[in-house]
Amino acid sequence: MSLVERQDMMNQETAVWNGGMGSVSDYVALLKPRVMSLVIFTAFVGLMLAPGTVHPVLGVVAILCIAIGAGASGALNMWYDADIDEVMTRTRKRPIPAGKVTRDEALAFGVTLSIGSVVLLGLLVNWFAGAFLAFTIFFYVVVYSMWLKRSTPQNIVIGGAAGAFPPMIGWASVTGSVSLESFVLFLIIFMWTPPHFWALALVKNGDYQAAKIPMLPVVAGETVTRHHILAYAVLLAPIGVAPYLLGFASPVYGVASAVLSAIFVGLSFDVWRKREGDPAKAACWRLFKFSIFYLFMLFALLLGESLIAGA
């Protein structure tokens, strides 16, 4: 609500205000808890793999700040994309289109949490990690949400970097810097993001068309998207195995990641091959669901190995 509107209201005897209707759970929903859970997990793996040690309390603080920063990005994304969310069936029930939280409230909430998480991480852990978190929030909100999402079919390719930074921030929380190993963790998520989202976009193509978002299937067509999915899956495979190839994961990880990557490529090939009707849709769903399992397993294996090594 602008100051002028507020002043107008104050000049009247009484006025009705349509804000202030959000419950605590609505504000939690603004943080995109499901995305946040992935961020927490990957940041934790980055933190655990990093050389050196961090006090457990500071480790918890680092993960907490990264999680809140990710949540703040989600709230700011919902503030900016409220018009799109209203059109798409997948997002129609989010707090802003549902009328539970106003855009101004979401903006204030997102900005407050962004500043709070960055300052807290900088003050309590280290300022390199704090600055990295600030850059990640900026990248997701300004570069992805405000700029790329509505202007290019490469939106999720470049914008996906924001979702890939958390393990690097986790790593930086321990070491105060980044390294080749943390960059490999980034690359795994970065290369994983396009086939993951394009598989969903192929199924939800109508939604994106209605919202006029230039997703690859909308702009270039479903066939080109299938080519891209397969290409990214093939490129992702060696990157998924890279932690073993570069010597910071065991042969067990090497074999497991190779098998998982082969399945990923196989399912992508299935998406590429089946182009019509229900079999095509089922193939996309299979790839989408497996992609989540794939990323979880790679990071879980790395985490397991670091825990065993530290025991």
Residues forming contacts to another protein in the complex (CB under 8 A) are 9-10, 12-17, 20-24, 27, 55, 57-58, 61, 124
Q: Which of 81, 82, 79, 89 is nearest to 210 (CA)?
A: 89
The answer to whether the CB of 229 falls within 8 A of the CB of 199 is: yes
Nearest distance from C-beta of residue 5 to another protein, angstroms: 11
CB of 95 to another protein, least distance (A): 12
Min CB(116)–another protein separation in Å: 9
Residue with the two structure tokens 């798409």: 88
CA proximity to 202, closest of 231, 177, 227, 168 = 227
Q: What angle do CA 140, 3, 109 make, to 5 degrees?
A: 30
* Nearest CB to another protein, comparing residues 58 and 161: 58
Cβ proximity to another protein: between 16 and 180 the closer is 16
Shortest distance in whole angstroms from residue 79 CB to another protein: 18
Q: Which of 9, 259 has the CB closer to another protein?
A: 9
Q: Closer CB to another protein, residue 59 or residue 153?
A: 59
Distance of CA 237 to the CA centre of its chain: 20
Q: Considering only the C-alpha atoms of the chain, give the largest distance between any 2 of them, rounded to a whole number of Å.
A: 74
In the complex, minimum distance from the CB of residue 168 to another protein, in angstroms, rounded to a whole number: 23
Minimal distance in Å, beta carbon 19 to another protein? 8
Compare residues 58 and 146 and give the one whose CB is closer to another protein.
58
Q: Kindly state the helix (H) or strand (E) to which residue 93 belongs, with its residue range.
A: none
**Is the CB of 26 or the CB of 270 nearer to another protein?**
26
272 with 227: CB under 8 angstroms?
yes
CA–CA distance from 26 to each of 100, 107, 237, 274, 280 (Å)? 7, 14, 39, 40, 36
